[in-house]
């Protein structure tokens, strides 16, 4: 597996948000699975330059240097199978795109359903300054600069600001 640092800024990423944090023991078990997958991730028999890991005990990130070799349908299907296996193995949800991850006043990451997120905003618990995670970003550069941003700067603001 290529190291995170060796992946170029333009590398393509996919972020899968867990509905709950992984425990330390789960991370210790999942990270080798991710490493093995990234090291052996192929497209039509050719190795992809890839990295995979867990960030903030809650987000699984897959990354490919598409300048070296782009992902294809079969390689993306292989990643989906791995993530579905992790879901089943650890009793988490990784494909719920309708939930919002955000930081509360104690800087803890919370995942809320869209209706709960909207209600918390109406109550003033979530404000335009509340940090949210934009899992729709597509590059390593965005991961480092535009992933966790204030609600007012995110597409999430459409949920509560209009």
Give the per-residue pLDDT at 158: 84
Q: Taking the CA atoms of 141, 145, 151 and 157 in sequence, report the sign of the dihedral they define.
A: negative
Measuring CA to CA, how many Å separate 113 from each of 14, 32, 157?
A: 20, 30, 14
The yes-or-no verdict on residue 160 having pLDDT over 60 is yes
**Cβ–Cβ under 8 Å, residues 35 and 62:** no
Q: How many angstroms from the chain centroid is the CA of residue 162?
A: 25
Ranges of each domain in the chain: 12-90, 99-134+148-160
Measure the CA–CA gap between 128 and 153, rounded to whole angstroms: 8
Confidence of residue 156 (pLDDT cuts 50, 70, 90): confident
Average pLDDT, integer, range 139-156: 95
pLDDT in tens, 61-72: 999 999 887 788
Helices (H), 51-139: 73-90, 114-122
Q: Which two tokens stand for residue 53?
A: 């890991």
For the chain, the average pLDDT equals 94
**Cβ–Cβ under 8 Å, residues 129 and 151:** yes
The yes-or-no verdict on residue 162 having pLDDT over 60 is no
């Amino acid at each position: 597996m290529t190291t995170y640092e060796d992946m170029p800024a333009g590398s393509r990423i996919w972020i899968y948000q867990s509905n709950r944090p992984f425990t330390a023991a789960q991370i210790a078990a999942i990270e080798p699975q991710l490493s093995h997958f990234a090291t052996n991730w192929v497209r039509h028999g050719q190795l992809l330059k890839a990295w995979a890991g867990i960030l903030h005990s809650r987000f699984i990130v897959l990354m490919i240097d598409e300048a070296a070799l782009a992902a294809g349908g079969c390689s993306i299907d292989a990643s989906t199978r791995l993530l579905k296996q992790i879901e089943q193995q650890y009793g988490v949800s990784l494909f719920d795109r309708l939930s919002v991850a955000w930081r509360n006043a104690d800087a803890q990451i919370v995942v809320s359903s869209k209706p709960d997120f909207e209600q918390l905003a109406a109550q003033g618990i979530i404000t335009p300054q509340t940090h949210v995670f934009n899992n729709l970003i597509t590059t390593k550069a965005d991961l480092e600069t535009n992933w966790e941003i204030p609600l007012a700067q995110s597409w999430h603001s459409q949920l509560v600001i209009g």
